[in-house]
Amino acid sequence: MQYSDSILYTPSSFIRNILKVTDAEDVISFAGGLPNPISFPIEQLKTSIAHAIDENGAKLFQYSTTQGYLPLREYIANKYNQKQPGLDFKPEDVFITTGSQQALELISKVLLNKGDGIIIEEPGYLGAIQAFTLRQPAFHSVTLEQEGINVEALKEALKKPKVKMVYTVPNFQNPTGLTYTKERREEVYEAVKGEDVIFIEDDPYGELRFTGENLPYIAAGKMENSVVLGSFSKTVTPGMRLGYILTKNHELLGHIETAKQASDLHTNIFAQYILHDYLTNNAYEEHVEKITALYKAQSDAMLTAMEKYFPPHVTYTKPDGGMFIWVTMENGASALEKFHEAMEQKVAFVPGDPFYTSKTGVNTMRLNYTNATPEMIEEGIKRLGKIL
């Protein structure tokens, strides 16, 4: 059988593959990016399921429009307008997708031909790398610093041929947990505002801030070619697979609609009705505050344990929110080799390799703290500290 170049060129998800070996009950896993299941509002969702069926009947079980359930799109637009002055999103600027992962796949399908350029953070979100790789693009990786993406390197990358998009995760980035400063956001905007590129701000973690102030988006509300991606996976439930695209570029949205019709016609309408009912009949903000309090306690537990058990040559980020901490072994050790040693001690993490588009054998790793108790975190970091 002869398969397509694009699928043969695209690696399967590294994390999905290692979860198969880290899923054993006796393994303390910091590998997945899993929300804590105790944060799922199960009882309220039960009520919303019954209420939505009673209110809407057969509509929940019928085919629906590609762009998504209008009341849910209205809710999302209003939510963002209240969050940041000047955004002025309308329901027609909102497009519902099957998780924000599908948004990445659809945007790349619409924009990219083989060899077209993508500017991406280094290290970058591996789900985006995988989605984009299917189109066989040219990746232009730009170093992510403590303050955000390196602006001078970004300007140089923008000069490369056929650059179609810039992809960023400005809040509590996956994998590093870093957040762009206000000053760096302004510098990045100045660098891209005159360029004919789509500027993507992927923001699945933005509401999970547990310290510091909320910061404005880089390009949203300022550039027509701005795209914001969001999701309810981290604040309500990941299993519903409900994400969305926000953009004023309706020509882009029109092409995305065509691509989505070819992919799956529309996102699960049953889940859209249920989610909208939940959002409009419950104290969503209070729910998110409980999640952030939980994640702050888990993040604090991990940072305290790392300070206690990690050797001096190991450095790490200290996130203001989100789900991840990024670890660097300054002695240059291979994280992939350490992963196999760690699995022998029944503790798991994600080696840094899949977060780079052109590097292997790197000395970095990602740790997730949201799916373990403080006691498990302490024990897992203690085991990891001995290996490091």
Question: What band does 22 get if pLDDT is binned at 50, 70 and 90?
Answer: low
**Do 221 and 201 contact (CB within 8 A), yes or no?**
no
Q: What percent of the chain has pLDDT over 70?
A: 97
Q: What percent of the chain has pLDDT over 90?
A: 92
Among 226, 234, 230, which Cα is nearest to 79's? 230
DSSP label of 209 = B
What is the chain's length? 388
Lowest-pLDDT range, 20-24, 144-148, 288-292, 313-317? 20-24
**Do 109 and 135 contact (CB within 8 A), yes or no?**
yes
Average pLDDT in the chain: 95
Instruction: Classify 202 as helix, strand or coil.
Output: strand
Structure-token match 């019928």, residue found: 62
Among 138, 137, 66, which Cα is nearest to 102's? 66
pLDDT, tens only, 168-182: 999 999 999 999 999
**Do 27 and 347 contact (CB within 8 A), yes or no?**
yes
pLDDT at 21 over 90: no
pTM of this prediction?
Answer: 0.95
> What are the start-end ranges of the E strands in 295-370?
314-316, 324-329, 347-348, 350-351, 364-368
d(CA 166, CA 164): 7
pLDDT at 15 over 70: no
β-strand pairing of 117-122 with 138-145: parallel
Retrieve residue 109's tokens.
Answer: 């399908």
pLDDT at 338 over 70: yes
Position 9 scores a pLDDT of 76
Instruction: Give all domains of the chain, ordered by start, each with its CATH number.
Output: 5-41+286-387 (3.90.1150.10), 62-281 (3.40.640.10)
Question: What band does 26 get if pLDDT is binned at 50, 70 and 90?
Answer: confident
Lowest-pLDDT range, 2-11, 61-70, 310-319? 2-11
pLDDT, tens only, 110-151: 999 999 999 999 999 999 999 999 999 999 999 999 999 999
Average pLDDT over residues 355-365: 95
Query: Residue 155: in which H helix or E strand, if any?
Result: helix 151-158
Average pLDDT over residues 272-283: 98
